[in-house]
Amino acid sequence: MRETIKEEWQAKLAIIVFIVLTVWWVVSPSFQGAESKRFFGDFPSIYAVMALLGGVWGVSISRKWGGKKSVMGKVLIMFSLGLFSQVFGQLAYAYLSFYKHVEVPYPSIGDIGYFGSVPLYIYGVVLLARASGVKVGLKSFENKIQAVLSP
């Protein structure tokens, strides 16, 4: 009973954040004043909130799937860690551009988060394939060529 209440609360929170961001996306172009530019210039840094909520929610759900002890739990943890990496990258870029007022160099500290999410997502997909029973055979020459060329 308690877990269903928690799940309902999490779903309602996700819907509320989605609605707030959608309203911002629709309404923000109509504001042109200096004060509103400051608010709407900083507001995109809140984009990281959705990834943060998704990461926290994913870790929470992974516990129901066995956490680090099960393959599906590991999948959810890897995807959540990928989201946390995205949060780091987003906040680093937002800090440099909106608060330090510098043009963000490439590469910068934020790229650690963005690039770091890629191996986490790839590992999560590999684990997901393993959990669903996918077997990849690279014994034949044709399969090796497809594995190299398809990505």
pLDDT per position as a tens digit, 78-88: 999 999 999 99
Residue type, 93: Y
pLDDT at 121: 93
Q: Are 63 and 91 in contact (CB under 8 A)?
A: no
pLDDT at 42: 55
Percent of the chain predicted with pLDDT > 90: 21
pLDDT at 101: 79
* Domain count within the chain: 1
Q: Which two tokens stand for residue 16?
A: 């509320």
Q: Are 80 and 55 in contact (CB under 8 A)?
A: yes
Is pLDDT of 38 > 60?
no
Q: Are 89 and 112 in contact (CB under 8 A)?
A: yes
Q: What is the pLDDT of residues 100-136, one digit of tens each?
A: 778 877 888 888 988 999 999 999 998 888 888 877 6
Q: How does DSSP classify residue 30?
A: G
Q: Please state the pTM of the whole predicted model.
A: 0.67
Is pLDDT of 69 > 70?
yes
CB atoms within 10 A of CB 48: 22
Per the model's pLDDT, the better-predicted residue between 71 and 105 turns out to be 71
Report how far residue 71's alpha carbon sits from residue 54's, in angstroms, rounded to the nearest whole number.
19
pLDDT at 123: 92
Q: Residue 101 is part of which domain span?
A: 2-149
